[in-house]
Amino acid sequence: KRNVLIIGAGGVAQVVAHKCAQHNDILGNIHIASRTVEKCQQIVDSVQEKGSLKTAGDLQAHALDALDIAATKALINKTQSQMVINVGSPFINMSVLQACIETGAAYMDTAIHEDPDKICENPPWYANYEWQRKQLCADNGVTAILGVGFDPGMVNTYAAAAVKEDYFDRVESIDIIDINAGNHGHYFATNFDPEINFREFTGRVWSWQNNAWVKNKMFEVKRTDDLPVVGIQTSYMTGHDEIHSLSHHLDVPNIRFWMGFGEHYINVFNVLNNLGLLSEQPVKTAEGLEVVPLKVVKAILPDPASLAPNYTGKTCIGDLVKGTKNGQEKEIFIYNISDHEAAYEEVGSQGISYTAGVPPVAAAILIATGEWDVSRMVNVEELPHRPFINLLNDMGLPTRIKDEDGDRPLHF
Ligand code: NDP
C-alpha cells in the first residue's frame, strides 16, 4: 500500500508528517487534512524547511471536516491514499473509520473514539464504538489498527512482547507507567488538548484486577518507583484505553495504568475541578452571557503546541511486568526514554507529541511492506511485536529492557 492521508493538524500530526516525509520512499505521497487548512499548510512548510522529505514526492495540505464521511471518502480517492493516519480529535474516529471501510484504505488512530456529549465512558471502551465495526472491516478486507500511538500503542507491544517472548511461564501483572519528567516553564499547562486531557481525569478510574474491573477515584491510588533516567517518581492509577484491549487479548489477571503527576499539577487540577471550572455544562453569568467553564479554561491555558520550543527534560514510559519463570518470581521493565529538546530539534514538537506520532508512521510502514497488512481490525497487541520494536529502534523511539541481567537495548 502507498500514499498516506494524515487527518488532524495538531502537535501529533506535525510529528506524523515529518516522520512520513522521512520515509516517503516507502510511503509515497503525503497529504494532510483538517478543518483549518492553514494549520496543515504550516506543517507542510515546516517539513519543507527542515528538508524532511527523503525523496521528491507530493506533500499537500487540504481543508476537510472529517465528520463529513462523503467528503473524507472523496479526499481519500482524490489523493489515492491507501493509508489514513487519523490523529485528529478523538471525536472523529468513527467517521474516519467509516470512510476507510467504504474506500478500502487502511486505518490507524492513536486514541479511542469519544462522544462529545459523554464524559469518561465506562469500559468496555473499544466495544462501545470501534469493535462494533470489526465484522465490517473483515468483510471488506480493511486493515484497521486501533490505538497505535505510545500509550495506547507501544505499551501494547511491550505487553505482547512480555507475554509472547520467553521471559515468563506465567504473567501475573502488567503495570503501565507513564512519566513526563519534563519542564515547560509555565505555571500550569496540559500537554495536549485540555478538553481531552481533563476528561481523562474527571471521571472514575478503572483498572483490571483479579480478572475483573475495579473502580477508584482519581488520585486515590498511587505508587512510587525508582525508574531509569527519570529517577524516583510518583504516579497515580488512571483509566486508559489499552487496559480494556489488553485484558481482552492477553491472559493476564492484573493490568493497570499509572500516570505521573507532580503535587503542583494535582493542586491546580483539584482547585479547577472543585470550583466547577472543568465542567462541560454551560452556566449563565449575571450579565446573561452563557459560557462553558471548560472552554474558558481551555482558552486561557497555553496552547499545548506552544510549549515545544522551551520544553526540557525527558519522558519515561514503559511496562513493569511481573510473573513467574521456572517457579521463581521475576519482573522486567520494558520502556522508552524520550527527550523533549531532541524532539523539538528533529521535528519541531514536544516529546509527548513525538512519542505519540512516531508509532503510527512505523505502523504505516509495516502495512506498506505487508507485515502488518492484516485485512481486519486489530489492536496493537494482536500484531507481531518484533518488527515494530525493531523498526522504532531505528526511527527515534528506542526500546530498552531492565531485568535481572541488567538494563540494555531491546531488539530482536
Ligand atoms: P490537537 O488537539 O492538537 O489536534 C487535533 C486536531 O484535530 C486539530 O488539528 C483539529 O484541526 C483536528 N480536528 C478536530 N476536529 C476535526 C474535524 N471534524 N475534521 C478534521 N480535523 C479535525 O491534538 P494532538 O495533536 O495533541 O493529538 C491528536 C490525537 O492523538 C488525539 O486523538 C489525542 O488523544 C491522541 N494522542 C495519543 C497519544 C498516545 O500516546 N496514544 C498521546 C497524545 C495524544 P482543526 O482545528 O484544523 O480542525
Percent with pLDDT over 90 in the chain: 92
Give residue 195's pLDDT: 85
Give the residue range(s) of CATH 3.30.360.10 domains in the chain. Answer: 154-349+398-409
- What atom of ligand 1 comes closest to residue 193's alpha carbon? 2
Q: What is the pLDDT of residue 171?
A: 98
| Average confidence (pLDDT) over 270-286 | 94
Gap from CA of 32 to ligand 1 centroid (Å) = 12
Q: What would the CATH number be for the domain defined by 4-149+353-393?
A: 3.40.50.720
Residues 239-243: what's their mean pLDDT?
Answer: 94
Q: Is the pLDDT of residue 395 over 80?
A: yes
Question: What's residue 120's pLDDT?
Answer: 62
Q: Which amino acid is at 190?
A: T
Exposure letters 341-357 (e unless 16+ CB within 10 A, then b): bebbebbbbbbbbbbbb
- How many angstroms is it from 361 CA to the middle of ligand 1? 16
CB-based contact 318:334 (threshold 8 Å) = yes
pLDDT digits (tens, 9 = 90+) for 57-112: 999 999 999 999 999 999 999 999 999 999 999 999 999 999 999 999 999 999 99
Q: Measured between alpha carbons, how far is 66 from 31 in angstroms, rounded to an integer?
A: 14
pLDDT of residue 205: 92
Q: Report the separation in Å between the CA atom of 113 and the middle of ligand 1, taken as the mean of its atom positions.
A: 12
Secondary structure letter of residue 308 according to DSSP: G
* Overall average pLDDT of the 5-23 stretch: 97
Three-class SS state of 53: coil
5, 6, 12: which to mutate for ligand 1, most atoms within 8 A of CB? 12
36 Cα nearest atom in ligand 1: 47
Instruction: Compute how many other C-beta atoms are within 10 angstroms of the C-beta atom of residue 2.
Output: 15
Our CA dihedral for 178, 388, 137, 250, rounded to 10 degrees, sits at -60
Q: Which atom of ligand 1 is nearest to the CA of 35?
A: 48
What are the CA-CA distances from residue 84 to residues 13, 91, 141, 143, 203 (Å)?
12, 16, 15, 10, 31
Q: How far apart are CA 29 and CA 40, in angstroms?
A: 15
- pLDDT mean over 356-384: 98
pLDDT at 119: 64
317 within 8 A of 308, measured Cβ to Cβ: no
Predicted-complex ipTM score? 0.98
Is the pLDDT reported for residue 121 higher than 80?
A: no
CA distance 3 to 53: 14
Residues sharing a CB contact under 8 Å with residue 54, sequence separation 6 or more, in sequence order: 21, 22, 23, 24, 25
Unique residue bearing C-alpha cell 481482552: 248
Under 8 Å between Cβ of 107 and 100: yes
Residues with CB under 6 A from ligand 1: 7-13, 34-36, 39, 64-67, 87-90, 92, 110-111, 149-153, 192-193, 196, 304, 352-353, 356
Residue nearest to atom 42 of ligand 1 (CA): 356
Give the 3-state secondary structure of residue 171. Answer: strand
Q: Is the pLDDT of residue 1 over 70?
A: yes
- Protein residue with least CA distance to atom 43, ligand 1: 356
Ligand 1 mean position, distance from CA 65 (Å): 13
Between CA 188 and CA 56 the distance in angstroms is 42
196-200: list long-range contacts, CB under 8 Å, 24+ apart: 196/89, 196/90, 196/111, 196/114, 198/269, 198/272, 198/273, 198/278, 198/294, 198/297, 199/114, 199/119, 199/120, 200/120, 200/238, 200/239, 200/240
- Report strand pairing: 170-180 vs 254-260: parallel
Sign of torsion over alpha carbons 50, 53, 58, 59: negative
319 Cβ contact list (under 8 Å, min separation 6): 155, 158, 159, 162, 174, 175, 176, 177, 333, 334, 335
Closest residue (by CA) to atom 30 of ligand 1?
Answer: 87
In this prediction, residue 317 carries a pLDDT of 98
Q: Which residue spans of the chain are classified as CATH 3.40.50.720?
A: 4-149+353-393
pLDDT computed for residue 191 by the predictor: 87
Nearest CA among 324, 359, 16 for reference residue 158 = 359
Per-residue pLDDT of 290-302, as tens digits, reads 999 999 999 999 9
**Which ligand 1 atom sits nearest the alpha carbon of residue 353?**
43
Phi, psi of 180, deg, nearest 5:
-105, 100
Percent of the chain with pLDDT over 70: 100
Can you name the CATH fold of 154-349+398-409?
Dihydrodipicolinate Reductase; domain 2 (3.30.360)
Q: In this predicted structure, which of 43-52, 61-70, 194-203, 366-375 has the lowest mean pLDDT? A: 194-203
